[in-house]
A and B are shown apart, each in its own frame.
Chain A
Amino acid sequence: MEAEAAKLLAAGLCMGLGAIGPGIGEGVVAGKAIEAMSRNPKMADKILPNMLLGMAITESTGIYALVISLILLFVV
């Protein structure tokens, strides 16, 4: 395999596999938050920012995969 092809393949695989975990995680966060909101609608205003924060932190592993694949594509 040529080096260029391997690089592209690696970047795609890295991003695709790296997106699985955060996808599941964010789904769990959103699901639980909506569960809590529907149980106690008064708390919805307080839950929403916490949910977004939790999602942004859950997302970070996906972002690492993104950074790695960007490095593979544009730097290496």
Chain B
Amino acid sequence: MANIPTISVAPEAVTTIGDYTLSNAMLSSFVVFAILAVFMIVLKSRLKLVPSRTQVAMEGLLTFFYSGLVDAYGSERRAQKHLPLILGLFLFIVLANQFTIIPFVQSIILEDGTFFFRNPTAHFSLPIALAIIVFLVSHIIAFTTAPMKHIGNFIRIGMFFKVRSFKDLGNAFLENFLAILDIIGEFAKVVSLAARLFGNVFAGTVMVAVITGLSTYTQFVVPLPFWILSIFSGFIQALVFAILAMSFISGMAKSVE
């Protein structure tokens, strides 16, 4: 019946270097990084006063994120400081999400039937690593600006020393309970940020694989709308990741001001 290819959440191992397994998802993320680096170096060497088409596109992208950051922070100096991180996340995720639509990339198959390349964001480790980077950056920025205030946002024991009446005691307990919820919420942010990106990209891959494998007749034209959908959602998810990262970092930085 249906010839659906085996779908695995864990990436397949391509080769091993010493004790270290090199998976296809990791290999693709290195390739994505190399493509991005070469593209940026070439673009930078060709910057002109009268811009080329690519330069206009990149400048538009930069202005979009810069104005968003200025709105989020309210200060241009800080926006300039954090622009490379946000724009870097966006460009990397956009390229990583669209990596397998590059022609012939999916055609390289090893002898034992594993793909040589695989969508890097369709492996849970990469989204969760990016989410942890965002989490750490936001907390480190808040902690270095005002350490005591940042800790005070999450542990509100100080409320107990201000208790004057019975009502205040109730409020103090409530505040501490809310602070615990805030701590859980911080970790939930990491999971939700990562799961959103991973789920969308992996679902796109699975959907195309299932439709292609349904029968002989659904191999050629039928998967096209699903490809288009997954490409579209790849772009949207990259934008959402960057904007949410922006709002997490700026929200954390504002909470200690």
- A, B bound: yes
The majority secondary structure among interface residues of chain B is: helix
- Docked pose: A22 CA to B240 CA in angstroms: 16
Is B73's beta carbon under 8 Å from chain A? no
User: 1/0 contact trace for A38-76 toward B, CB 8 Å?
Assistant: 000000000001001100110110011011001100110
Interface of A is mostly: helix
Is there an interface contact between B7 and A74, defined as CB atoms closer than 8 Å? yes
> Considering the chains assembled together, what is the distance between the CA atoms of A74 and B10 in angstroms?
9
Q: Which of A49, A63, A66, A71 counts the most chain B CB atoms within 10 A? A: A63
Instruction: Report how many A-B pairs have Cβ atoms within 8 Å.
Output: 43
Query: A66 and B7 in contact (CB under 8 A), knowing A53-B243, A57-B240, A60-B196?
Result: no
Query: What are the residues of chain B within 8 A of A64 when measuring CB–CB?
Result: 192, 195, 199
CB neighbours of A52 from chain B (8 A): 236, 239
Task: Give the most central of B7, B199, B202, B236: most A CB within 10 Å.
Answer: B199
Q: Which of A49, A63, A74, A75 contacts B195 (CB 8 A)?
A: A63
How long is the Cα–Cα vector from A6 to B55 in the complex, in angstroms? 54
Query: Could you give, for residues 164-207 of chain B, a 1 whenever the CB lies within 8 Å of some chain A CB and a 0 otherwise?
Result: 00000000000000000000000000001001101110110010
Contacts A60-B192, A74-B8, A75-B9 given; does A67 touch B240 at CB 8 Å: no
Contacts of A53 in B (CB 8 A): 236, 239-240, 243
Output the least CB separation between B208 and chain A (Å): 15
Contact status of A66 and B199, CB under 8 A, knowing A71-B9, A74-B8: yes
A66 engages B240 (CB within 8 Å): no
How many residues of A are counted as interface, with CB atoms below 8 angstroms from the partner's CB atoms? 15
B237 interfacial by beta-carbon distance below 8 Å: yes
B194: nearest chain-A partner, CB-CB: A67
Q: Is B195 touching A60 in the complex (CB atoms < 8 A)? A: yes
In whole angstroms, what is the CA distance A66 to B199 when docked?
Answer: 7
Nearest A-chain residue to B232, judged by Cβ: A52
Closest beta carbon of chain A to B23's beta carbon, Å: 16
Docked Cα-Cα span, A9 to B214, in Å, equals 21
Least Cβ distance of B62 to chain A in Å?
16
Contact of B196 among A63, A70, A71, A74 (CB under 8 A): A63
Residues of B within 8 A of A67 (CB): 195, 198-199
9 A/B residue pairs, CB under 8 Å, sorted by A: A52-B236, A52-B239, A56-B196, A56-B236, A59-B200, A63-B203, A70-B9, A70-B206, A74-B7
Binding site for A on B (CB under 8 A): 7-10, 192, 195-196, 198-200, 202-203, 206, 236-237, 239-240, 243-244
Please give me the 7 A-B residue pairs with the lowest Cβ-Cβ distance, nearest first.
A63-B199, A56-B240, A67-B199, A60-B196, A66-B199, A74-B9, A67-B195
Given contacts A52-B239, A56-B237, A70-B9, 4 further A-B contacts (CB under 8 A): A52-B236, A56-B239, A63-B196, A67-B198
